[in-house]
């Protein structure tokens, strides 16, 4: 779709967080564009899949993906016809023991709809026909594997995992039912209802501050019916319980805001359960999205298999994407910042490590590299300071005077006579 990698990652995280899974197909743009691209498929669009153990590994051998193709109408240019298709990705075994990747496109027969169906076709098996079959090539050879990656909350396996929001969804549904019953009871009992006894049935009574009800019958009374009891409070208490349970399960939308101040450590401890779930999801998606980028890297390389990229780069991953796992608003304190700088000055850590700690502590902006930070530091004008003699020192480096004691031997160490600058 031409979206950026950042937008693609946000869509994948949102899909996995909502329904628990999605998938990505990596394909080649052809001779016109000559580039690799990725397509994200929702969980509802992944219809079927199969895995098989080949050469000691569980390999994806078949994936069926639902697609909707928009085609302009031949008679009305403002109308768009939606055609339902199924893209089947298959891995065929060859006689020599190798495998090749095959793509098949299946369409419905005339008069049938896959999305909504009709009265005649919804209750019987739909008729599909093969519309196209092709073998994608890379460097003139078929692909040895299916370029499809699953995204899940805990791993990148094809198996369906539990949705991260499944417990919250169940409690939210119960909260909706209780709210409907509570509002239904308020509708019938909350408004006061006037009642009279001993008045003429044919008389017309009006309610208002300028109207008085007078009856000649001895003992006539009037009043208002108002709801009393614990009937509606039961629903209200049950709603409050569901709201507290949803807050414990991870939803902060319905939690009461605390009126007292909380420290950063207290907030971090209170959100430890949420962060553990988000941490697992972020690590899993970092691995699966990195696998997608390895496929894209492999399309533009000369290696025979995608797994050969690590050996070609010395055992390191050629492409690695890591989603931020810092979900707290707590940054580096002034004491921690001073300690890191002091450790770097003492030679205990390198400058790259110091920059990495600054980046994790949200001191450096996201996306700025170490070389860019060094360039910005080098572009700063020198800070004018004063040395111990009171004279201005434009270099910004204070000079420490070292007193050399008189020794018995005139041949002292020349290094003891050096004036050593200290920052």
Q: Per-residue pLDDT tens for 316-375?
A: 777 888 887 776 666 788 888 999 999 999 999 999 999 988 888 878 887 788 888 888
- The tokens describing 89, both together, are 């990705």
Query: How many residues appear in the chain?
Result: 423
Residue with tokens 């050996």: 311
pLDDT of residue 267: 56
| CA-to-CA dists, residue 241 to 124, 358, 361, angstroms | 46, 42, 37
**Residue 165 to residue 20: CA distance in whole angstroms:** 8
Beta strand residue intervals within 135-220, DSSP E: 137-138, 141-142, 148-151, 193-197
Contacts of 357 (CB under 8 A, 6+ apart): 332, 340, 349
| CA-to-CA dists, residue 299 to 12, 61, 141, 305, angstroms | 22, 20, 12, 10
Between strands 36-42 and 46-54, the pairing is: unpaired
pLDDT of residue 122: 46
pLDDT of residue 257: 43
Contacts of 383 (CB under 8 A, 6+ apart): 396
**Residue 29 to residue 133: CA distance in whole angstroms:** 17
**Residue 49 to residue 146: CA distance in whole angstroms:** 11
pLDDT of residue 159: 87
pLDDT of residue 342: 93
Sign of the torsion formed by the C-alpha atoms of 267, 270, 276 and 282: negative
3-class state of residue 368 by DSSP: coil
**Residue 103 to residue 209: CA distance in whole angstroms:** 80
pLDDT of residue 415: 45
Q: Which residues of the chain have pLDDT under 50?
A: 116-123, 251-259, 273-274, 394-423
Tell me which residue of 279, 264, 390, 273 sits closest to 331, measured CA to CA: 264
Q: Which helix (H) or strand (E) element contains residue 277?
A: helix 272-299
- The tokens describing 401, both together, are 């005077």
Is the Cβ–Cβ distance between 176 and 78 less than 8 Å?
no
């Amino acid at each position: 779709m031409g979206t950026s990698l950042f937008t693609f990652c946000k869509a994948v995280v949102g899909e996995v967080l909502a329904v628990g899974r999605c998938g990505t197909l990596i394909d080649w743009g052809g001779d016109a564009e000559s580039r690799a691209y990725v397509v994200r498929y929702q969980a509802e669009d992944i219809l079927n899949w199969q895995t098989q153990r080949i050469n000691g590994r569980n390999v994806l051998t078949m994936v069926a993906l639902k697609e909707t193709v928009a085609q302009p109408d031949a008679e009305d240019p403002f109308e768009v016809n939606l055609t339902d298709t199924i893209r089947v990705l298959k891995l065929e075994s060859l006689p020599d023991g190798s495998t090749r990747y095959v793509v098949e496109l299946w369409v419905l027969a005339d008069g049938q709809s896959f999305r909504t169906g009709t009265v005649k076709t919804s209750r019987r098996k739909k008729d599909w026909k093969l519309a196209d079959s092709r073998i994608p090539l890379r460097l003139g050879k078929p692909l040895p594997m299916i370029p499809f990656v699953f995204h899940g909350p805990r791993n990148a396996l094809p198996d369906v995992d539990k949705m991260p929001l499944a417990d919250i969804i169940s409690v939210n549904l119960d909260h909706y039912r209780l709210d409907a019953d509570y509002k239904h009871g308020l509708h019938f009992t909350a408004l006061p209802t006037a009642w009279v006894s001993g008045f003429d049935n044919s008389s017309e009574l009006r309610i208002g501050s300028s109207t008085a009800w007078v009856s000649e019958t001895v003992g006539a009374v009037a009043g208002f019916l108002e709801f009393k009891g614990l009937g509606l409070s039961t629903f209200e208490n049950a709603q409050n319980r569901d709201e507290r349970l949803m807050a414990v399960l991870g939803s902060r939308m319905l939690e009461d805001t605390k009126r007292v101040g909380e420290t950063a450590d207290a907030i971090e401890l209170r959100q430890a359960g949420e962060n553990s779930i988000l941490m697992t999801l972020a690590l899993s998606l970092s691995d699966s999205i990195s696998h997608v980028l390895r496929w894209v890297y492999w399309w533009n390389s000369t290696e025979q298999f995608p797994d050969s990229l690590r050996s070609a780069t010395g055992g390191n991953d050629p492409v690695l994407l890591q989603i931020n796992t810092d979900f707290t608003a707590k940054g580096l304190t002034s004491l921690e910042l001073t300690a890191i700088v002091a450790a770097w000055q003492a030679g205990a850590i390198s400058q790259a490590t110091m920059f990495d700690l600054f980046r994790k502590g949200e001191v450096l902006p996201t996306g700025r590299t170490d070389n860019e930070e060094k360039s910005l530091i080098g572009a700063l004008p020198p800070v004018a300071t004063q040395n111990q003699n009171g004279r201005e020192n434009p270099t910004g480096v204070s000079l420490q005077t070292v007193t050399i004691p008189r020794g018995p031997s005139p041949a002292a160490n020349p290094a003891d006579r050096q004036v050593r600058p200290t920052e």
